[in-house]
Structure 1
Amino acid sequence: MVRRSGADRRRGEEVPVPMGDVLTVQGGRPVDGRVAVRGAKNFVSKAMVAALLGETPSVLRNVPEIRDVSVVTGLLGLHGVDVSRPADGVVVMDPTDVESAHVADIDAHAGASRIPILFCGPLVHRLGEAFIPDLGGCRIGDRPINYHLDVLRQFGAVVDKREGGIRISAPDGLRGTRIELPYPSVGATEQVLLTAVRAEGFTELHGAATEPEILDLVAVLQKMGAIIGVDTDRTIRVEGVERLRGYDHRALTDRIETASWACAALATRGQVFVEGATQPEMMTFLNVFRKVGGEFEVTDEGIRFWSPGGPLRAIALETDVHPGFMTDWQQPLVVALTQADGLSIVHETVYENRFGFTEALGGMGARIQVYRECLGSTPCRFGGAHFRHSAAISGPTPLHGADIVVPDLRGGFSYLVAALAATGVSRVRGIELIDRGYERFAEKLEALGADADWSTGARADRSQPVPA
């Protein structure tokens, strides 16, 4: 069971977790139970930003209680948007009185979040200008914002770099344009959509990202009155309109969290029913899950994942943009592959530095080698650039407990999967990063029968030493 002490963490309350806090996990037992997964982190925050574009209130449903939602809620409030929660999982946003916010307030509230860059187009449409502070985010690659700034310039925006951030204005208004992305960036595609829908004239975007979260954002904007077409060749065409209204929309389920719990079932040889999970956006993952040796059952309520027994199978895998294998699925799957028979090869083609988390897994007993070479079927854009973006995982290897510091959101949850699968005690620090994208994850660990203690420096089992 999950035990909590220290600051009160009542259900539904956003409470920061200091780096001094430790999640202590007694691993080595199968997870078994049911968890509920709500709206996708990679969609919900963007849909909330879209509410700025409307002239009437918007209603977003199936909203999880995660840190990114709190950040966007605060940023909207700083800009005069009235945000309320009339029911669990429901957020109502009234943008009637949108106004400029103080730079210091934006910076203090956004923290390490990269979400403020997506406020640019909507704020320029509403106020004529926007100021974006220096941006942070998970350290999994450079993730430059130059795509965003280049997009805004092509719409006619003036980008003025100043101390502490960037001011964006459009003295002559934003105008439709033709844009070709050098890579199907999700963030840049979102920037185009949020800017083009009220820009004067037509916008044509080539090389767009077409992830399910992008298409759900398109659906939201269409409900608001936008005219958007999506072609099969990654081309998105937008006819700008003068006004947009609010929307009423239910967010699609988070496919990353769904896969994370599925990998926990695989790595620990247990079973998890993920309430709310849906099949269409999970098909690529489900194929790989079955190839490795897992099994699943799709129902109207969700998807049940389990390990049917017998050895797990090594695989060769490449991450890719949708409809390929999602980069955010890679990290928890790598943990499961440490328990597979043989040599698995994973080629990361989306983020150049996403294998940094494997060093800590090595300290837990995993045998993982990372390489600069492209170990996939075709060379990727990182080939020859000295990025360690391929991994060879030899298994099966018993994992043992260790002290771990969370490096980023997805790597952090992968460490939890490893701690659950490992024999002995693991102490995981930096779990506030996991709060960004995984709702009530400590409660869900408890629902799955995990033996964990979330406290300040406490140990779940002092009789067993924690490996250094």
Structure 2
Amino acid sequence: MDKLAIIGGRELYGELEISGAKNSALKVMVASLLTADALTLTNVPDLADVRQLLVLLDNHGVEIDRDGATLRLKAKEITSTTAPYEIVRKMRASFNVLGPLLAREGEARVSLPGGCAIGARPVDLHLKALEAMGAQIELEEGYVVASAKQGLRGARVSFPFVSVGATEHSMMAATLAEGVTTLENAAREPEIVDLADCLNAMGARVEGAGTSTITIHGVAALHGATHDVLPDRIEMGSYAMAVGAAGGELLLKRGRMSLLGAADGILAEAGLTLTDEPDGLRVTKWGRPTKGTNVHTEPFPGFPTDLQAQYMALMALADGTSVIRETIFENRYMHAPELMRLGANIHVDGQTATVRGVKSLRGAPVMATDLRASMSLVIAGLSAEGQTFISRLYHLDRGFERLDKKLQSVGALVERVPDTD
């Protein structure tokens, strides 16, 4: 087991490549189950979650060929329609194989994923959407057992609240349903658009992705395609905030401001300069103190919940007070006590956190509690005086590709070292 050692106080300069989006890569990988032909994906990040999903796809009979960031998946024959607990429990996105298996094979048996460290995220909306398309669903010993022997059929699905996972899941299943499916109050995230682009390249007829109403005209079969996974907006925003905390200037290659939604305006208000360039997004922070600014998380194009922890680390050194309101997930302030170990002044009251900026942070041993919390501690460590040690790096490895190498390339003193505690 490793931990991350950071000596703070160094500004960041240079160019840093933004990897393919984890949250998009996982869903387009699942889409390979919808066709017997080969799906070739480029710009796929090498992350623990990606490797775990490959284990599950292999369980279903998918032929896998990986060459660097290029992944070729061919589900010529589905050899199993069961997604076992021992695989699904390790990663929530695994549950999304249910819809594609059901659409293609007429049956599926998939383990419930359970909750996670940042709060329960029930799959009720996923199941109700599939039932609206004609699926019969039962729960047996922790498994969802679904059947649609006559195939799925188009339906009108109105989500009571915005859900990225349910939107993606319904969209994939509907591609092979007979007739037209309309998804109302659909999620609008860039990853939704990326999945729709991939499905359309495979022969699907998906319209309206990126808006609150998505229409899918079912087709008899999908075919192979090649798709380039879009850049990871959460990684991009995280490194932008690292510049805000440590100072300096980075060109985030392949990044673009439009992927950040409301976060670009919030970061500009806080004192960062963001500029779109042909090769990527340039982020600059010189001299002047960061300004304390308020933020509340919202579905895209609002401020993303997956940048909330990182933003708290940035605000820890801001001039003034910032009020952060988390509206998406409960129990998502577990990083606050760890930031306080570094000297941050944070008060949490329910879903609201008040951050009063301090003059400096001080390095200390801290522990990652979830994926995004891990990155908040990295950002704080980069700006802290002295040395910070971050343990439980398996959280970080789930979502940030080669983080230590990337940061080293732009001047940070960061190293993975054995955790002997």
TM-score normalised per structure 1: 0.86
Q: In structure 1, which of residues 296, 302, 316 is the aligned counterpart of residue 280 of structure 2? A: 302
1:125-184 C-alpha deviation (Å, 9 max, x unpaired) = 222222222415642121111111222222222222222422222233212111111111
Q: In structure 1, which of residues 170, 173, 180 is the aligned counterpart of residue 158 of structure 2? A: 180
Question: Superposed, which structure 2 residues align to 1:236-385 within 5 Å?
Answer: 236-371=214-349
Contact preservation (8 Å) 1:270, 1:306? yes
Higher mean alpha-carbon deviation, 421-430 vs 449-458, is at 449-458
Distance change in 2, residues 1:437/1:279 (3 Å): same
**Greater relative CO, 1 or 2 (CA 8 Å, sep 6+):** 1
Q: Does 1:58 align with 2:39?
A: yes
Q: Does 1:157 align with 2:138?
A: no
Q: Tell me how far 1:115 sits from its aligned partner.
A: 1.7
Give SS of 1:99's match. Answer: coil
Q: Tell me how far 1:239 sits from its aligned partner.
A: 1.3
Give the equivalent residue in structure 2 for 1:43.
Answer: 24
Contact preservation (8 Å) 2:325, 2:351? yes
1:101-129 C-alpha deviation (Å, 9 max, x unpaired) = 665xx433344201221101111122222
Distance 1:43 1:137 in 2: 21
Contact preservation (8 Å) 2:10, 2:246? yes
Distance change in 2, residues 1:259/1:138 (3 Å): farther
Give SS of 1:341's match. Answer: coil
Q: One-letter code of the match for 1:430?
A: R
Q: Tell me how far 1:232 sits from its aligned partner.
A: 7.8
Contact preservation (8 Å) 1:338, 1:367? yes
Q: In structure 1, which of residues 103, 107, 118 is the aligned counterpart of residue 85 of structure 2? A: 107
Q: In structure 2, which of residues 397, 401, 404 is the aligned counterpart of residue 442 of structure 1? A: 404
Q: In structure 2, which of residues 50, 60, 77 is the aligned counterpart of residue 79 of structure 1? A: 60
Give the equivalent residue in structure 2 for 1:427.
Answer: 389
Distance change in 2, residues 1:268/1:137 (3 Å): farther
Distance 1:457 1:311 in 2: 35
Report % sequence identity.
35
Higher mean alpha-carbon deviation, 392-401 vs 162-171, is at 162-171
Q: Does 1:118 align with 2:96?
A: yes
Distance 1:294 1:136 in 2: 39
Higher mean alpha-carbon deviation, 249-258 vs 138-147, is at 138-147
Question: Superposed, which structure 2 residues align to 1:409-424 within 5 Å?
Answer: 409-424=371-386
Distance 2:51 2:114 in 1: 16
Q: Tell me how far 1:231 sits from its aligned partner.
A: 7.4
Q: In structure 1, which of residues 56, 76, 90 is the aligned counterpart of residue 70 of structure 2? A: 90
Distance 1:297 1:171 in 2: 53
Distance 1:453 1:324 in 2: 34
1:28-81 C-alpha deviation (Å, 9 max, x unpaired) = 222333221121111011001111112311111111111121122221111111
Distance 1:178 1:32 in 2: 50
Q: Tell me how far 1:409 sits from its aligned partner.
A: 0.6
Unaligned runs of 5+ in 1: 1-17, 372-387, 460-468
Q: Tell me how far 1:270 sits from its aligned partner.
A: 2.6
Distance change in 2, residues 1:410/1:232 (3 Å): closer
Q: One-letter code of the match for 1:369?
A: H
TM-score normalised per structure 2: 0.95
Distance 1:327 1:238 in 2: 28
Distance 1:194 1:156 in 2: 15
Give SS of 1:312's match. Answer: coil
Unaligned runs of 5+ in 2: none
Contact preservation (8 Å) 1:295, 1:305? yes
Give SS of 2:320's match. Answer: strand
Give the equivalent residue in structure 2 for 1:406.
Answer: 368
Q: One-letter code of the match for 1:240?
A: G
Q: Tell me how far 1:236 sits from its aligned partner.
A: 1.1
